[in-house]
Amino acid sequence: MGLVLKAGPVVKIVLLALLAFSIISWAIIFSKSITYRRASKDSEKFLELFWKSKDLNVVDDNIFQFKHSPIAHVFHTGYQEFKRINTASLGKHEGNLESMVSPAAVASRVDGIDNIGRSLRRACVSEITKLEGSLTFLATTGSTAPFIGLFGTVWGIMTSFHGIGLKGSASLAVVAPGISEALIATAVGLGAAIPAVVAYNYLLRKVKVISNEMDSFSSDFLNIIKRYLMEDSRRPEIWNQ
C-alpha cells in the first residue's frame, strides 16, 4: 500500500482504472453465474413439465413459473405464433374437411410452419443476446488490462530514470523504489485480466450449452407442430384448443 501511495499521479490513475475494471468484472462474473444457474434450473423444470403435459395450453398458462428459462421464452414465442396460424386456418376453412386437405390449404400450413420456425430462431437469437450481454466487458478487460498496466509501468520507469538523471546517481537504493512502484501497475493489470479471461471462457461455454439446448428444443417443438399441422384428420390430444 505504501508503494501505491508513493507512486506518481499517472500511475495512480492507471491503478484506479484497473481497480475499476476488476470490480466491474467480478460483479459481472457473479451476476452471470447466478443468471446461468437460474436459467439451467428453470429450463430443467420447464422441460419436465413440457414433456409430461398432455395440454400445451396448460404449459403456456404456467410459463410465468419459469421466468428465468430461455427455453420457456422460446416455447412461448413459438406457441403464440402457432395459435395465431392455427386459429386463422380453422377460421378460413370453417371445419370443412375437403378445403382443409386441399393443395392450397396444405401450402398454407407449410408457410405457417416456416413462420413458426422463423419465430423460434428469432427467439433463440434474442435469448442468446441477453445471455451474452456484458460478457464482452470481460473480454475487453482480459485483452486491455495488461497493456494498461504495462503503460503505467513504463511511465513509472520513465519517471524513475528521469529522477535518476536529475540526481546524478544510479545506485540500487535510488533505482529500486521507483522500479518497484512502476511494476505494481503490471501486477494489478494481470490481476484484473487473468480472472476476466478465465471467467469469460467459462461463462461463454455455459451460454453455448444453453444455446444448444434451445436449438434442440426448437427442433423438437417444430417437429411436433409439423405433425399437427400436416395431420389431415385426427389431431393429437395434447393440442387442446
* Residue 237 falls inside a structural domain: no
Q: How far apart are CA 1 and CA 222, in angstroms?
A: 60
Task: From 69, 179, 201, 70, select the one nearest 135 (Cα to Cα).
Answer: 201
Q: How far apart are CA 110 and CA 31, in angstroms?
A: 42
- The single residue listed with the C-alpha cell 395431420 is 231
The rounded Cα 136 to chain-centroid distance in angstroms is 10
* Residue 86 falls inside a structural domain: yes
* Residue 150 falls inside a structural domain: yes
Question: Per the structure block, which three cell numbers stand in for 58?
Answer: 396448460
* Residue 239 falls inside a structural domain: no
Residue 131 belongs to domain spanning = 2-229
Q: Give the pLDDT of residue 46.
A: 95
Q: Give the pLDDT of residue 158.
A: 78
* Residue 238 falls inside a structural domain: no
Task: List, as one string, the DSSP characters of the chain.
Answer: -HHHHHS-HHHHHHHHHHHHHHHHHHHHHHHHHHHHHHHHHHHHHHHHHHHH-S-HHHHHHTGGGGTT-HHHHHHHHHHHHHHHHHHHHHHHHTT-HHHHTSHHHHHHHHHHHHHHHHHHHHHHHHHHHHHHTTHHHHHHHHHHHHHHHHHHHHHHHHHHHHHHHHHT---HHHHHHHHHHHHHHHHHHHHHHHHHHHHHHHHHHHHHHHHHHHHHHHHHHHHHHHHHHT-SSPPPTT---
* Residue 63 falls inside a structural domain: yes
Task: From 74, 206, 75, 77, select the one nearest 127 (Cα to Cα).
Answer: 74
- The single residue listed with the C-alpha cell 427455453 is 71
Q: Give the pLDDT of residue 114.
A: 85
Q: Give the pLDDT of residue 86.
A: 73
Q: Is the dihedral of CA 167, 170, 173, 177 positive or negative?
A: positive
Over the chain (241 residues), the average pLDDT of each successive run of 10 is 63 89 96 95 94 88 92 94 75 45 51 85 94 93 93 80 65 65 86 96 95 94 82 47 45
Contact predicate 203/33, CB 8 Å = yes
* Residue 204 falls inside a structural domain: yes
* Residue 135 falls inside a structural domain: yes
Count the domains in the chain: 1
Contact predicate 39/70, CB 8 Å = yes
Task: From 37, 76, 70, 36, select the one nearest 56 (Cα to Cα).
Answer: 76
- pTM strictly above 0.85: no
